[in-house]
Amino acid sequence: MGTVTAPWKQLLLNALESNSHLKHSSFFQLATVGYNGRPSNRTVVFRGFQENSDSFQINTDSRSHKIEELKHCPFAEICWYFTDSWEQFRIGGRIDVIDGSNPDTLKIQQREKSWFASSVKSRLQYLGPNPGLPFISEQLNEETSLDPSAGPVGAFCLLVLDPDQVDYLNLKNNQRVKFISTIRSDGMKSWTSEMINP
């Protein structure tokens, strides 16, 4: 499926640029739906857009709760607030979970590329104990090492969020715009936008 450049993407790129001096501007909140139907939210790192698309890349541990939540319900929402420019983006869509067992060669290559784009320190996290399980001090092993040239470990997982709606709020000029995508008859994604009340 092809896509026409999303009209909200330049707003987001501008916000990233104008807030780039703030380390926290690369973090956003990702909400999924828990098994009990309740929201489940956490802060993750923006790992860039997937090549030639408007899809967001997020690295995560395949053993984390969010993976089972996404397999149960693949819809999620990002909430991203930029403190210097007073802009908020709420971005909803479907997440594709790409782990080492994915049968799609292209997706496996994307996972590998994302792995090597991460720092070695970041990659070491995936060799630690299972996230969310009780802490046992004996599990800590300071000597854990990783060959920097080796491919992704089993616990490394790439999440790709394909947005279908974006709610943009600019608190400096008190403007809010809602962007919604549809799939055209030719299979291309098309976006419409509407100014709404803040």
2 pLDDT higher than 50: no
Ramachandran quadrant class, 70 (left: phi over 0; alpha: psi -120 to 50; beta: rest):
alpha
Residue 181: in which H helix or E strand, if any? strand 175-183
- Structure confidence at residue 182 (pLDDT): 92
Residue 60: in which H helix or E strand, if any? strand 56-61
3-class DSSP state for residue 155?
A: coil
Could you tell me the two tokens for 177? 């715009």
- Structure confidence at residue 138 (pLDDT): 62
- Structure confidence at residue 81 (pLDDT): 98
- Structure confidence at residue 131 (pLDDT): 86
pLDDT, one tens digit per residue, over 26-45 is: 999 999 999 899 999 999 99
Q: Domain ranges in the chain?
A: 9-129+152-196
Cα-Cα end-to-end distance for the chain: 33
pLDDT, one tens digit per residue, over 108-153 is: 999 999 999 999 999 999 998 888 888 887 655 555 677 888 899 9
pLDDT, one tens digit per residue, over 149-198 is: 889 999 999 999 999 999 999 999 999 999 999 988 998 899 999 999 99
3-class DSSP state for residue 68?
A: helix
The correct answer on CATH 2.30.110.10 for the domain covering 9-129+152-196 is yes
Q: Are the beta carbons of 63 and 150 closer than 8 angstroms?
A: no
pLDDT, one tens digit per residue, over 84-106 is: 999 999 999 999 999 999 999 99
